[in-house]
Amino acid sequence: MSREDAIARAEGPPFTDLDPPLLASSLRTLQGMAFTRTTPVQAATIPLLATHKDVLVEACTGSGKTLAFVLPMTEILSRSVGGMRRHEIGAVVVSPTRELARQIHAVATPFVEAMLRERGESGVEGRATMLLVGGTDVSKDVGAFAAMSPLVLVATPGRLWDVMQRSKELDAKKCELLILDEADRLLGMGFMTTLNNIISRLPKQRRTGLFSATQTEEVAELARAGLRNPVRVTVRDALNAAAKAAGEKTGKLPTQLQLLYRVCPIDAKLWHFVNFLKEHRECKLIVYFLTCACVDFYESALKEMLPEANAIALHGKMKQNARESALVKFTELKSGILMCTDIAARGLDIPGVDWIVQFDPPQDPAAFIHRVGRTARMGREGSAIVFLSPNSEASYVDFLRIRGVDIKAAPGTREYYAEAAANDGDNQEIELPSDIVDALEQSERDEREGAAHAHAVLRKASESNRDIMEKGVRAYVSYIRGYKEHHCRFIFRFKELEYGSLGMAMGLLRLPKMKEIRKAPKKFMESFVESSVNADTVAFSDKGREKQRQKTLKEQEEAAAAQRLLDENKPKVKKEKPVKEEKRLTAFKRRKQESLEDIEEMEDDYRALKKLKKGKMTEEEFDMEIGFEEEKPKSKTNKKSR
């Protein structure tokens, strides 16, 4: 059997060909995740659940079963959500472990949110889904449910039943769908009684999907009790069987590649990065950043934090000869650090790379595989690590695992011990040995102290060197605008970005005035403390640049004085401003106002462009004005330079 035949037999039809057809919002979300074709279990199960049939599915882990119930669940909810009142739940998904529940929640959320947005629902982020797992105070979950009123509950059985008993608001009378995932594991862990209790609270007219890797007597008993005339679907690892028949592996990543992640506060990321470099002094590393300006800034920051580091910058806004020189220099090194962006690094084949460090996750999730593919080449072993913030970014791990990426927590972290317990099938609250607890607490203290030290070093550098100060501002602006363009916006939530902590992490003297953060919630800004140093007085360490700056400042002051003189001689005409009655805007007027603001923003950018053409503004000032810090692909004549 050829490889093509094997893959063809292992795949189902495209998602666009399913009958009944999927929602337009679901198809767009699938496209954003780079999913185009169904797997066998999806092709068989989605139409059945979508047409209100109970299903009993036997499918192994990794067969795509999560989407097999998430997509029809979204279809069913789209037809009933209009008639649902506050605190009425539309669907329940039960999973045996916290980790699996988090993974399912990460998959389901973007689809349900997209469906609600398409319907014009308000408060989508709180209304869509809610995760209920152990390890936290149950009263907080009860309160959160009352406040959020989610449409879908994704939960472990113990916590779900606890919340159902305690919550006075939770109403399951209109629940349309119950999904029991990994049913054999649910029963093997002793949850039969709890599941029966949960089922007793749900309406008998609901639809039920029971997914299991094996069909045991206990699973059959549960199916008889909870399903009505179910359709049996059996898919026995078709992808792996096809790959074996073709004599190839379907995975895109080499088996000798070790993938790790570390969750840390955004203002402690640099400290962890520097520590990582100290531990791998003899290694050859490629480090990825979100924007060109970030590469420039962190190269300078690293010189302040770790002067002995042999770091080389490479990105698409560098001149061609500088890019070629940097690449040749790094290729010849036995150990060193290449700090780069995605476009500059695309297609690089550098021998001997030991580690890939993703300081910032890529905007396009497809780039993750491309990045880590720079190591573990030609049979060599290699490793990669990605830094993630503890907010919604942490769910990026689940997203990667869903896409078949085997990634684990870095040793010694809380996530590492949590995963170890989850792998042992422990769904209860984790009780760690006292020595490990002490070590973790000490690590967190070190993290706070280290972050504060890094802030102090960069703040001092910015107060004494204008070059670092300006690079920090450019990096901050470009990072925020680049973050806003993440493809996985349900994971990298722009509204949850901690602007204040980011500014402190970059040693900024004060936060720049930006449209993006003008309306930011106070809680994301209050961590920033301005410097007492006046930014205008900070000089360049390079005497030539400082001399030119002083000359430019003098010219600007003279021009401003002349303009003031003209303004003073003009006759003053007092204009009466009309008194506007404040009233609450309708959704239509809000959209209209936002459109007007967008037009004003484009006009501002156009005026900046005219200033650039007339020589009244430098290219760097123009980039700062419009936020154009992300590199653009070169023209065809420069294609070779990539």
For the chain, which residues score pLDDT lower than 50?
1-9, 61, 237-251, 629-630, 633-642
What pLDDT was estimated at residue 529? 95
For the chain, the farthest-separated pair of C-alpha atoms sits apart, in whole angstroms, at: 95
CB atoms near residue 562 (< 10 Å): 10
- Angle made by CA atoms 485, 633, 608, in degrees to the nearest 5: 70
Taking only Cα atoms into account, the Rg of the chain, rounded to an integer number of angstroms, comes to 28
d(CA 260, CA 53): 41
How is residue 407 written in tokens? 């990634």
Three-state DSSP state, 130: strand
Three-state DSSP state, 542: coil
Helices 543-569 and 466-483 cross at an angle (nearest 10°) of 70
What pLDDT was estimated at residue 245? 36
What pLDDT was estimated at residue 565? 82
| DSSP-assigned letters across all residues of 224-280 | HHH-SSPEEEEE--HHHHHHHHHTS---SS-TTEEEEEEE--GGGHHHHHHHHHHHT
CB atoms near residue 391 (< 10 Å): 16
Closest C-alpha to 641, from 343, 320, 325, 370 = 320
d(CA 367, CA 482): 15
- Domains contained in the chain, CATH given: 3-246 (3.40.50.300), 257-413 (3.40.50.300)
What pLDDT was estimated at residue 239? 39
Please report, to the nearest 10 degrees, the dihedral formed by the alpha carbons of residues 320, 323, 325, 330 taken in order: -160
Q: Residues 6 or more apart from 111 whose CB is under 8 A from it? A: 25, 26, 29, 70, 71, 74
What pLDDT was estimated at residue 525? 92
- Angle made by CA atoms 468, 471, 472, in degrees to the nearest 5: 85
d(CA 99, CA 416): 12
| DSSP-assigned letters across all residues of 363-387 | SSTHHHHHHHTTSS-TT--EEEEEE
How is residue 331 written in tokens? 């290729």
CB atoms near residue 368 (< 10 Å): 23
The conformation of residue 537, written as its DSSP 8-state character, comes to G
